C-alpha cells in the first residue's frame, strides 16, 4: 500500500486538469489498453473480431462505442485463461473478489502498478476531506474478503462484520472511537438506531464515509443527526476500485484518470441528466483488462462543472443497481430512490422491504410502530400509487420483522420474477 504514495503527486495534479486534458489522458490510455487486451486476451480478441473491428479503429473516446459491451458472466466463463494476460497470475498480482450480491462472485487480478495507481487515487480522495494516515480510521467490514482487503491499508483499523447485531457493533465502534468511520449506509443506519434506542454515548467520528449501496437522503440525514457529523458518499466497484467520490461541495466526481465511465441505455449513450446503466473501462489494469464492462448500476451524468475547481466529470444522480428497481407493465423502471424516501419519511415505520412478484403487483412489508395508524397507512398507499401508477396494485403488509439476507449490499427491492431491464 505504501507504494501508492509514489503515484500520489500525479493523482493529485490530475484532478485539476481541464476536461480537454483529461480526455487526452483517457484516449492515450484507452488506445494502449485496447491494443493490449486485443493482443493478450482471447475474450477481447473474439469480441473485436465479432464486431468487425481492430484496435486501429479505436482512437478517440467517441470510438469506444464500437466495442461490444462485456458482462461479468462472459468474463467468468473464460477466467482465467481467456482474460488474464500472459505473465500474470494470482502469485504476482493483488487479488480481489466481487461482493457476490448479484449471486455471482468474480476474482479480479491487479498488476502491481495498476493497484498502486488506483490506491493513490483513493488516497487523493481521502486527502481532499482532510483525512491523513495518522487519523484513526475504522471500516465496518461486511465479509472476510473485505476485511482482508482493507486491513493492509495504513489508514484502516478494521472493526466488526455485518452479521453482528447493531448493539454490539455500536459498542465496538464506541471503544475504538475513530476519527473516520467507513462502511455501508444501511449498516450505520442500524447502528444509529441502536445508539438512539440504548442511549449509547462516546461515538464521535469527525467523518463518516458511506458507499457500497445507495445512500438514501433519509439514511444520511438520520446518520448525521445521531452521530452529529457529516457523511461523504463514495462509489466504487471491486473491478475498478474507486469510481467516483463526493467533494466538499456535494458533487460526485468521476475518477476520470483511472476509469472511463459511460451511461448507456439500449446500447446508446444517454444525454446529460438522463438515466443510464454505468459501463466502465479500467485504464491501468493490464493483468486483467476491463473494457466496456457493465457494472449493473443506474446513474445520470451531468455536464455542469463543479465550483470546487476540479476538472473531473460529475455524476448528477446515482440511483443504485438495475436489479433494485420496480419494473412496470409498460417496461418502465422506478428506482428505489423514488420510493424509499416516502417510506423513510412516513411516521411509525421501524423497517420495510419491497417485493415485486409480477409487473402489476408490489407488496410493501412494514414493521410498524404505534404511530403507523390506519390513516398513515392509507396516506402512504396513495403516495406510492402516485409513484408507481395505476397499472400496479400495491398491498401493504404489516410484519413482525424483515429478514435481511447475508449478502453484503442490502436490497430494498426484491423482484421474484425474470424481467428484461434495458
Q: Which residue has the cell 490506491?
A: 119
Taking domain 2-122+247-321, whether its CATH number is 3.50.50.60 is answered by no
Residue 288 contacts residue 109 (beta carbons within 8 Å): yes
Mean pLDDT over residues 235-246, rounded?
93
Query: What pLDDT does 44 receive?
Result: 98
pLDDT-derived band of residue 69, with 50, 70 and 90 as boundaries? very high
Kindly list the distances between the CA atom of residue 370 and the CA atoms of 187, 219, 374, in Å, as whole numbers in the listed order.
24, 21, 10
Q: What is the pLDDT of residue 163?
A: 45
What confidence score (pLDDT) does residue 147 get? 53
pLDDT of residue 153: 60
More confident residue, 153 or 252: 252
Over 90: is that where the pLDDT of 421 sits? Answer: no
**Per mean pLDDT, which range of 156-165, 187-196, 290-299, 367-376 is the poorest?**
156-165
The β-bridge relationship of strands 241-246 and 293-302 is unpaired
What is the topology classification, in CATH, of domain 325-415?
GMP Synthetase; Chain A, domain 3 (3.30.300)
Q: Given phi > 0 = left and psi -120 to 50 = alpha, else beta, which region is 266?
A: left
CATH topology agreement for domains 2-122+247-321 and 129-234: yes
> How is domain 129-234 classified at the architecture level of CATH?
3-Layer(aba) Sandwich (3.40)
Give DSSP secondary structure letters for 158-190: ----TTS-HHHHHHHHHHH--SEEEE-HHHHHH
- Evaluate whether 339 touches 357 at the Cβ level (below 8 Å): no
Specify burial of residue 116 (Cβ count, 10 A radius: 0-12, 13-18, 19+): buried
Q: For the whole prediction, is pTM greater than 0.85? A: no
Nearest CA among 258, 357, 367 for reference residue 313: 258
| pLDDT tens sequence across 28-68 | 999 999 999 999 999 999 999 999 999 999 999 999 999 99
Domain boundaries, the chain: 2-122+247-321, 129-234, 325-415
Angle between helices 374-388 and 336-344 (to 10 degrees): 160
Mean pLDDT taken over the chain: 88
Q: Is 52 buried (19+), middle (13-18) or exposed (0-12) by CB count in 10 A?
A: exposed
- In sequence order, what E strands does 150-267 have? 180-183, 207-210, 230-237, 241-246, 252-254, 259-265
Report the sign of the C-alpha dihedral through residues 60, 63, 65, 68, in that order: negative
Residue 162: band (very low, low, confident or very high) from pLDDT cuts 50, 70, 90 = very low
Q: Is the pLDDT of residue 184 over 90?
A: no
For residue 336, what pLDDT is reported? 75
Cα separation of 131 and 184, whole Å?
19
Section 128-153 average pLDDT: 72
Amino acid at each position: 500500500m505504501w507504494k501508492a504514495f509514489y503515484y500520489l503527486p500525479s493523482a493529485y495534479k490530475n484532478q485539476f486538469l481541464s476536461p480537454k486534458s483529461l480526455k487526452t489522458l483517457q484516449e492515450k490510455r484507452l488506445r494502449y489498453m485496447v491494443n493490449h487486451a486485443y493482443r493478450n486476451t482471447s475474450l477481447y480478441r473474439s469480441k473485436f473480431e465479432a464486431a468487425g473491428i481492430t484496435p486501429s479503429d479505436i482512437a478517440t473516446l467517441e470510438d469506444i462505442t464500437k466495442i461490444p459491451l462485456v458482462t461479468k458472466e462472459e468474463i467468468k466463463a473464460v477466467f482465467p485463461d481467456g482474460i488474464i494476460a500472459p505473465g500474470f497470475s494470482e502469485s504476482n498480482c493483488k487479488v480481489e473478489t466481487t461482493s457476490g450480491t448479484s449471486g455471482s462472485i468474480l476474482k479480479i487480478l491487479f498488476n502491481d502498478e495498476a493497484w498502486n495507481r488506483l490506491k493513490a487515487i483513493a488516497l487523493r480522495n481521502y486527502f481532499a476531506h482532510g483525512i491523513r494516515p495518522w487519523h484513526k480510521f475504522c471500516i465496518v467490514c461486511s465479509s472476510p474478503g473485505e476485511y482482508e482487503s482493507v486491513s493492509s491499508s495504513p489508514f484502516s483499523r478494521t472493526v466488526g462484520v455485518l452479521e453482528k447485531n447493531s448493539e454490539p457493533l455500536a459498542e465496538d465502534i464506541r471503544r475504538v472511537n475513530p476519527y473516520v468511520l467507513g462502511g455501508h449506509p444501511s449498516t450505520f443506519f442500524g447502528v444509529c438506531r441502536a445508539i438512539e434506542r440504548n442511549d449509547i454515548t462516546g461515538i464521535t467520528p469527525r467523518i463518516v464515509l458511506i458507499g457500497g449501496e445507495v445512500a438514501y437522503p433519509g439514511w444520511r440525514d438520520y446518520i448525521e443527526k445521531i452521530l452529529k457529523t457529516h457523511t461523504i458518499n463514495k462509489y466504487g466497484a471491486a473491478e475498478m476500485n474507486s469510481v467516483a467520490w463526493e467533494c466538499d461541495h456535494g458533487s460526485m466526481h468521476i475518477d476520470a484518470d483511472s476509469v472511463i465511465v459511460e451511461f448507456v441505455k439500449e446500447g446508446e449513450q444517454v444525454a446529460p441528466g438522463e438515466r443510464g446503466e454505468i459501463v466502465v473501462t479500467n485504464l491501468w489494469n493490464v493483468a486483467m483488462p476491463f473494457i466496456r464492462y457493465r457494472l449493473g448500476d443506474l446513474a445520470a451524468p451531468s455536464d455542469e462543472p463543479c465550483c470546487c475547481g476540479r476538472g473531473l466529470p460529475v455524476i448528477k444522480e446515482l440511483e443504485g443497481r438495475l436489479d433494485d428497481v420496480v419494473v412496470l407493465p409498460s417496461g418502465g423502471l422506478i428506482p428505489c430512490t423514488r420510493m424509499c424516501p416516502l417510506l423513510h419519511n412516513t411516521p411509525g415505520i421501524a423497517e420495510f422491504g419491497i417485493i415485486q412478484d409480477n409487473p402489476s403487483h408490489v407488496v410493501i412489508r412494514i414493521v410498524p410502530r404505534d404511530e403507523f395508524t390506519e390513516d398513515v397507512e392509507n396516506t402512504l398507499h396513495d403516495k406510492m400509487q402516485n409513484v408507481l401508477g395505476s397499472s400496479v396494485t400495491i398491498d401493504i403488509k404489516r410484519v413482525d420483522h424483515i429478514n435481511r439476507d447475508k449478502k453484503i449490499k442490502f436490497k430494498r427491492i426484491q423482484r421474484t420474477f425474470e424481467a428484461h431491464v434495458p
